[in-house]
Amino acid sequence: MDKLQIMGGQQLNGTLRVSGAKNAALPILAATLLTSEPVQISKAPHLQDVTTMIELLVCLGADVMVDERMNVQVTAADLHNLKAPYELVKTMRASFLVLGPLLARYGRAEVSLPGGCAIGSRPVDQHLKGLQAMGAQIEVVDGYVNADAPKGLVGAEIYLDLVTVGGTENLMMAACLAHGQTRLHNAACEPEIIDLGNFLQAVGVEISGHGTSEIVINGSPSLGGGHFQVMPDRIEAGTYLIAAAITRGSIRLLDIQPGALGLILEKLQQAGAKISTGEDWITLDMQGRRPKAVDIETSPYPGFPTDMQAQFMALNAVAEGTSTIRETIFENRFMHVHEMKRLGANIELHGPSMAVVNGVDELKAAPVMATDLRASFSLVLAALAAQGTTVIDRIYHIDRGYETIEEKLQQLGADVRRVS
């Protein structure tokens, strides 16, 4: 099993291109099942989760071609299998997003309940409730969701009880082939939702309001093909900005939409970073200064993203002052705390959703173990700031969400290598 070996204490400086967004690419790949026409997706990141989704599309009967630049062509002309097996869905929650497209196009689907994450229950009840409002008959049997709509789905007014990104995506896709109009209330507003909506428009869907809390979709009997470029990954961008900030260095990011980062940039400025932005670039410069502690409270977009919480905890661990971090989205998302403490971080947990971080002058290297995707990179960040050589085990978690991590860090001057 691969590990990362990091010699810390080096200031990171340099320029990076941001990869395509995993959290946009996965629902877009699932949405290719809505049409029998060929669809080309460019800038899909080369990640394990994307490979898993492609395997699932092939398993369902789609014809998928991938070139050396990760341009993906999907033709889902005639699917021979409407069952998404546990073996694939268990490794990645986003596999569950094939439920809406399969049910909308074929009138039935059998999809395993999802796995792929250790950060809490993240139930799919809102997905199912919305599909039932559109006329689907749903049973959960032996860990599988069996959904039927023999006469097709029907447009509906759907009120989501809570903001759910996956639920919003599944229902957006299901509504595309439903009879009549669907209106999603209390929809998620994340930039990745906007990207999915833009893709759906590109293949002929009449959709409006994506990026707001109310999305309106007029169903069509069939959809066309097209070409679409996946948006840049705002979480990857934020993570590398912190890599520079935690080492008191500087970075220039290219191929990024600065507006999508929102509060991430604001919090980095509060931490003392000098930030400049252009149409498709961001620069950060700590000017050699130690970061200042910043309070964080996660909330749905446009609030602070839960996927950046662990990275800011690493920054706060070496910052000047004391900070409070509140996690309101997922339970069980402080699993990185115990590993950070092994590196010398001073963190107190107050229940399952609040941590108080007292910044220390320096962290010290120690062997640590990754637990989930984003938490894993927070250990990389802490190791970059620590004195000595840290070995991080179980980094397959990182490979699920970050492309060529050691190469990108080496470009910035980090002493990091993959060892087995």
pTM of the model: 0.95
Structure tokens that stand for 240 in this block: 């590398």
**How far, in Å, CA of 217 to CA of 120, rounded?**
31
- The per-residue pLDDT for range 262-306, each reduced to its tens digit, is 999 999 999 999 999 999 999 999 999 999 999 999 999 999 999
Q: Is 158 strand, coil or helix?
A: strand
The amino acid present at 272, given as its one-letter code, is: G
Nearest to 176 by CA among 151, 148, 207: 207
Both tokens of 133, joined, read 């409002």
Name the nearest CA neighbour of 132 among 112, 103, 169.
103
Neighbours of 270 (CB within 10 A): 14
Is the pLDDT at 224 greater than 50? The verdict is yes
Q: Are 195 and 24 in contact (CB under 8 A)?
A: yes
- Nearest 5°: CA angle at 296, between 277 and 414? 60
The rounded percent of the chain whose pLDDT value lies above 90 is 90
Mean pLDDT calculated for residue range 345-356: 96
DSSP helix/strand/coil, 162: coil
End-to-end CA distance of the chain: 6
**What is the side-by-side order of every strand in the sheet holding 274-277?**
13-17, 250-254, 281-285, 274-277
| pLDDT tens digits, 145-202 | 999 999 999 999 999 999 999 999 999 999 999 999 999 999 999 999 999 999 999 9
Q: For residue 12, is pLDDT > 70?
A: yes
Residue whose entry in the numeric block shows the structure tokens 């073996």: 87
Mean pLDDT of 209-232: 98
* Omega before residue 302 within 30° of 0, cis: yes
Task: Tell me the catalytic residues.
Answer: 117
Q: pLDDT category, 359, cuts 50, 70, 90?
A: very high
Give Cα 344 to chain centroid, integer Å: 29
